[in-house]
Amino acid sequence: MSVEIFKTTEVQDFLRLASGLDQDGGNPRTKKIVHRILSDLFKAIEDLNVTSDEYWAGIAYLNQLGARGEAGLLSPGLGLDRYFDMRMDAEDAALGVEIGTPRTIEGPLYVAGAPVEQGFARLDDGSDKAGHPLIMHGTVYGANGKPVPNATVEVWHANTKGFYSHFDPTGEQQPFNMRRTIVTDAQGRYKFQSIVPVGYGCPPDGPTQALLNQLGRHGNRPAHIHFFVTAEGHRKLTTQINIDGDPLVFDDFAYATREGLVPPLVERTDAASIQANGMAGPFAEIVFDIRLSALVQGLDNQIVDRPRLAA
């Protein structure tokens, strides 16, 4: 049967007690957030008449999520990463801040410490034989519309099996394979050679996919390439481009696709292009210019300081 006790003084006092609001010690911000989330959870349990069996299935689920290290995967899957981007876009709109290249989610697979190269980098080590060669390049522009020399373009992407170095369950990839930091040249240009990445999905036997199954949703991403772009006097840009033509470009389980982040991919098969780029044969070319946004009152007001792997 369903009962209603949430609004009683007993339950409301109990929520304050459990959140430490009656205690002097601890962290006030943590108390405030825990009190709110706990209250919302208690209310949801009452409103939806959540059963004990359902609740304990949820607790077991959280343990599985942690044991598999998938909290950072479920987060974009449930749209929370996208929601933070929506909020930052709305903040910018409210402040009248002009955004250049759209931001999109970082995802959980960045690794700090990639080799730094000037102007050009080869990202892959040639070991992924199924890979179709890729040349990607563009110019980083500042908020004043001028090219930015010495901007830092950090780039990372998956191989043709959809795995990232440092997170590859096959153990096939060397550290920092398909990860580099490229410093733009005097004309603000960056360029890299790699292979066209392939989309990937959540581990099929993992807790993220299990929940998505319950929601009737798939857990796949279109092929994409991640970027952090930083330059003096500008806010750090976190973004991704999708590989044009991937059937999931606008059906990403992590909701990272945005207008302006699907640059055309052009197949180059002519001898002149092949020779000009020092390639051994046909390759795919993506041109993508990056437009940074200015600091806000001298600060990067949206910098995200989150735990990240470093190697």
Cβ atoms of 190 and 119 closer than 8 Å: yes
| 207 contacts Fe ion (rule: CB under 5 A) | no
If you ran DSSP here, which 8-state letter would residue 34 be given?
H
Q: Which is nearer to Fe ion, 188 or 222 (CB)?
A: 222
Using Cβ positions, the residue closest to Fe ion within the complex turns out to be: 107
Under rule CB under 5 A, residue 197 binds Fe ion = no
Q: Which is nearer to Fe ion, 107 or 138 (CB)?
A: 107
The yes or no reply on residue 219 touching Fe ion (CB under 5 A) is: no
Please report the beta strands in the chain, taking only residues with DSSP state E, as ranges in sequence order.
111-112, 116-118, 120-122, 133-141, 152-157, 179-183, 189-195, 224-230, 237-242, 265-268, 283-287, 290-291, 309-310
Integer Cα distance of 40 and 17 in angstroms: 15
Stretch that binds Fe ion, among 76-84, 104-112, 122-130, 259-267 (CB under 5 A): 104-112
138 contributes a contact to Fe ion by CB under 5 A: no
143 within 8 A of 292, measured Cβ to Cβ: yes
Q: Which of 76, 107, 138, 206 binds Fe ion (CB under 5 A)?
A: 107
Our CB check for Fe ion shows the closer of 20 and 201 to be 201
Q: What are phi and psi of 86, to 5 degrees?
A: -60, -40
**Contact stretch for Fe ion (CB under 5 A) within 56-64, 106-114, 227-235, 287-295:** 106-114
Residues near 253 by beta carbon (within 8 Å), at least 6 away in sequence: 76, 77, 201, 202, 212, 217, 218, 219, 220, 221
Cβ 307 to Fe ion shortest distance, Å: 17
Q: What is the size of the binding site for Fe ion (CB under 5 A)? A: 1
Instruction: Locate 165 and state its tokens.
Output: 């170095």
Nearer to Fe ion, 143 or 178 (CB): 178
List alpha helices for 217-309, DSSP H: 271-276
The minimum distance between CB 226 and Fe ion, in angstroms, equals: 6
Q: Considering only the stretches 79-87, 105-113, 180-188, 280-288, report the one whose residues sit in contact with Fe ion under the rule CB under 5 A.
A: 105-113
What residues make contact with Fe ion under the rule CB under 5 A?
107
